[in-house]
């Protein structure tokens, strides 16, 4: 059976409760999902017990999405800063996830998919991180390349889930029976209709012969 991976970006302390309907839908549809956590203020502000419990369900895997999630014209959190600063950002997220959620992320993805050679050196300081999204240069870490990625946010809708867009972008992979990654942002402005469309997409993908898996199971 062909495989597909759900990469859900940008979990923050101030949008944590908005993730509950999405995480519940994934559990009910038996869909593994990877949740990208941003560390900023997570330890100071915390999250509710119900959110923590959802993030510790068997079908949820938390991944490291950095500390501040910033970008400027010519630089970003993992594009330009020194190795030391990038280590601090990765470490901040590892620490926040351990203290607040109770897990140690094993995967890393740079905000905006922007990184440089310093990111590779920074990741070498974290032997517990065994995989990355689109950072192919590290000799000891598995990486999922960007060409596998489809973004299902509808433009100019604050990243709401677009069913038609998701189906359109999925079809080229389905025709080739190729594995791929579905990138979404359910903590932004998803409402009930987005959850319904996501459920429809999940059922359509399963009917198309695809199995939803965690990142480390996507590629051989």
> For residue range 72-104, what is the model confidence (pLDDT) as tens digits?
999 999 999 999 999 999 999 999 999 999 999
Do 183 and 9 meet the contact criterion of CB atoms below 8 Å apart? yes
Q: In this model, does residue 124 exceed pLDDT 70?
A: yes
| Averaged pLDDT of the chain | 95
Reduced to 3 states (helix: H, G, I; strand: E, B; else coil), residue 37 is: strand
Q: In this model, does residue 32 exceed pLDDT 90?
A: yes
Q: What is the DSSP string of 194-215?
A: HHHHHHHHHHHHHHTTEEE--G
User: What's the pLDDT at 188?
Assistant: 77
User: What's the pLDDT at 82?
Assistant: 98
Strand residue runs (E) in the chain: 2-11, 33-37, 60-64, 107-108, 131-133, 142-144, 149-151, 180-184, 210-212
Helix (H) or strand (E) holding 163: helix 163-176
State how far the alpha carbon of 153 is from the alpha carbons of 55, 170, 183, in Å. Answer: 22, 13, 8
pLDDT band of residue 158 (cuts 50, 70, 90) is low
Cα 39 to Cα 32: distance, rounded to the nearest angstrom: 22
Helix (H) or strand (E) holding 164: helix 163-176
User: What's the pLDDT at 156?
Assistant: 61
Cα 8 to Cα 32: distance, rounded to the nearest angstrom: 11
Do 123 and 107 meet the contact criterion of CB atoms below 8 Å apart? no
- In the chain, the percentage of residues whose pLDDT exceeds 70 is 98
Strand pairing category for 60-64 and 33-37: parallel
Q: Which of 140-144, 171-175, 193-197 has the highest mean pLDDT?
A: 171-175
Do 133 and 118 meet the contact criterion of CB atoms below 8 Å apart? no
Cα 123 to Cα 140: distance, rounded to the nearest angstrom: 10
User: What's the pLDDT at 220?
Assistant: 77
Domains of the chain as residue ranges with CATH: 2-217 (3.20.20.370)
Cα 47 to Cα 162: distance, rounded to the nearest angstrom: 28
Long-range contacts of 87-92 (CB under 8 A, 24+ apart): 87/122, 87/125, 89/39, 90/64, 90/66, 90/122, 90/123, 90/125, 90/126, 90/129, 91/126, 92/39, 92/66, 92/67
């Amino acid at each position: 059976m062909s495989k597909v991976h759900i990469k859900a970006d940008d979990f923050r302390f101030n949008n944590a409760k908005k993730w509950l309907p999405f995480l519940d839908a994934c559990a009910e549809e038996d869909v593994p999902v990877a949740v990208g956590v941003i560390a900023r203020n997570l330890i100071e502000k915390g999250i509710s017990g119900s959110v923590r419990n959802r993030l510790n369900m068997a079908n949820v895997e938390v991944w490291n999405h950095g500390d501040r999630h910033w970008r400027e014209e010519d630089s970003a959190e993992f594009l330009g800063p020194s190795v030391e600063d990038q280590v601090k950002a990765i470490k901040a997220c590892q620490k926040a996830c351990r203290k607040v959620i109770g897990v140690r992320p094993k995967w890393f993805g740079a905000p905006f998919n922007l990184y440089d050679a310093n990111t590779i050196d920074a990741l070498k300081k974290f032997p517990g991180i065994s995989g990355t999204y689109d950072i192919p240069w590290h000799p000891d870490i598995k990486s999922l390349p960007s060409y596998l990625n489809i973004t299902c946010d509808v433009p100019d809708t604050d990243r709401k889930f677009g069913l038609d867009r998701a189906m359109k972008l999925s079809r080229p992979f389905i025709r080739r029976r190729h594995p791929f990654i579905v990138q979404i942002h359910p903590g932004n402005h998803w409402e009930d209709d987005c959850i319904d469309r996501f459920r429809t997409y999940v059922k359509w993908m399963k009917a198309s012969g695809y199995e939803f898996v965690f990142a480390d199971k996507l590629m051989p």
